[in-house]
């Protein structure tokens, strides 16, 4: 990797096929960042274990997500793309960092409280340590920048505090404080029009869906609830179909729809047909590239293995310094 503006790390859990929320909220940003930064993109399968009931689909979901990433333009020649569990040093750093982490700080985090509310029957030890593992990821690869949504900001602050605790406790400057880089992408709403698009709410449209599947999902989208009949004027300001037009449809056409909807000149069905066609046109090249990757799962695992190999070099460098700072014996290579 060439020396660029700095090093970016981002991890996402292997949720399988990605939806358009993931695409505009994360993936398209990842693709842009790799031009200016040294980027490390990680599929955090260990983090996924904190909430998964079964790991049956874990590997397939990892592949599906990787295919979307690669097809979207994340380039393994430019960026390091790998699977978290393939670089074992992260679990070692996680253990070491957990010793400088007060338990109360973890249980006070809003994200932890939310997880407990969501799933009170599975509050496991790993879930409490989720932000410690996340810090271990960022710090292991010495990232200076982490692209996140606003909801993740407390975790980055947590990582910075962990750096300060560790460096103070062991009188060292081995670990680097990361900064957050807020993603400025819109929050994409689901086809229900009221919740954020999310796989778990089953209100998503996958970027790799077929043209027919995409059209069917768009047809299910909730529009302005006050518009009952074709002859009623609509309000684009409260319509999620219109919000998506702003992303997928040329501005002149968006302006026309805005006017026509308000005077009942265009109905919701026609409006959705235009959206589905534009969405399909937008994702067609990505879908074509994805088909090529899908043909070769072994080749995809090779890409991830190669990424892990490159990531391991950075990880081991960090761990040599960390072990030394902590006072643990060095591990001989021979
Ligand atoms: P994770 O919890 O591992 O981040 P998610 O699938 O929830 O996994 O999200 C992956 C990325 O996609 C995150 O950066 C998240 O902010 C973004 N994302 C997910 N859903 C949406 C959405 N509806 N709109 C915008 N961004 C989203």
Token pair for residue 199?
Answer: 């796989």
Indicate the pTM of the whole model: 0.94
Residue ID of nearest Cα to ligand 1 atom 18: 22
Taking alpha carbons only, the member of 50, 40, 51 closest to residue 11 is: 40
Show pLDDT as tens, one digit a residue, over the chain (334 residues).
456 889 999 999 999 999 999 999 899 999 999 999 999 999 999 999 999 889 999 999 999 999 999 999 999 999 999 999 999 999 999 999 999 999 999 999 998 999 999 889 889 999 999 999 999 999 999 999 998 877 788 889 999 999 999 999 999 999 999 999 887 777 899 999 999 999 989 999 999 999 999 999 999 999 998 888 988 999 999 999 999 999 999 999 999 999 999 999 999 999 999 999 999 999 999 999 999 999 999 999 999 999 999 999 999 999 999 999 999 999 988 7
214 within 8 A of 205, measured Cβ to Cβ:
yes
H-helix or E-strand spanning residue 146: strand 145-148
Residue ID of nearest Cα to ligand 1 atom 4: 12
Residue ID of nearest Cα to ligand 1 atom 19: 22
Contact 25 CB / ligand 1 (< 6 Å): yes
Whole-angstrom Cα distance, residue 68 to residue 212?
A: 19
Closest ligand 1 atom, residue 204 Cα? 23
Residue appearing with tokens 């994409």: 188
């Amino acid at each position: 990797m060439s020396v660029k503006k700095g090093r970016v790390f981002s991890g996402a859990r292997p949720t399988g096929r990605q939806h358009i929320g993931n695409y505009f909220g994360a993936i398209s940003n990842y693709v842009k960042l790799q031009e200016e930064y040294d980027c490390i993109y990680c599929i955090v399968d260990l983090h996924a274990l904190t909430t998964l009931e079964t790991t049956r689909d874990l590997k397939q979901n990892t592949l599906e997500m990787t295919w979307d990433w690669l097809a979207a333009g994340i380039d393994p020649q430019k960026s390091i793309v790998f699977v978290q569990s393939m670089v074992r040093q992260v679990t070692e750093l996680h253990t070491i960092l957990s010793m400088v982490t007060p338990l109360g700080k973890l249980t006070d985090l809003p994200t932890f409280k939310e997880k407990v509310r969501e799933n009170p029957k599975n509050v496991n030890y790993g879930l409490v340590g989720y932000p410690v593992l996340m810090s271990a990821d960022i710090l292991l690869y010495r990232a200076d920048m982490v692209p996140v949504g606003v909801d993740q900001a407390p975790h980055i602050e947590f990582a910075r505090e962990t750096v300060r605790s560790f460096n103070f406790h062991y009188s060292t400057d081995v670990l680097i404080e990361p900064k957050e880089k807020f993603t400025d992408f819109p929050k994409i709403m689901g086809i229900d029009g009221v919740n954020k698009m999310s796989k778990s709410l089953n209100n998503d449209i996958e970027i790799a869906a077929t043209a027919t599947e995409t059209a069917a999902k768009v047809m299910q989208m909730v529009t302005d609830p006050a518009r009952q009949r074709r002859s009623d004027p609509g309000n684009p300001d409260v319509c999620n179909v219109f919000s998506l037009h702003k992303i997928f449809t040329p501005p002149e056409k968006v302006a026309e729809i805005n006017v026509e909807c308000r005077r009942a000149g265009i109905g919701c069905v026609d409006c959705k047909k235009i959206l589905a066609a534009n969405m399909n046109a937008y994702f067609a090249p990505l879908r074509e590239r994805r088909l090529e990757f899908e043909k070769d799962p072994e080749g995809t695992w090779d890409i991830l293995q190669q990424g892990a190999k490159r990531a391991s070099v950075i990880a081991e460098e960090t761990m040599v310094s960390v072990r030394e700072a902590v006072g643990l014996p060095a591990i001989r290579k021979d």
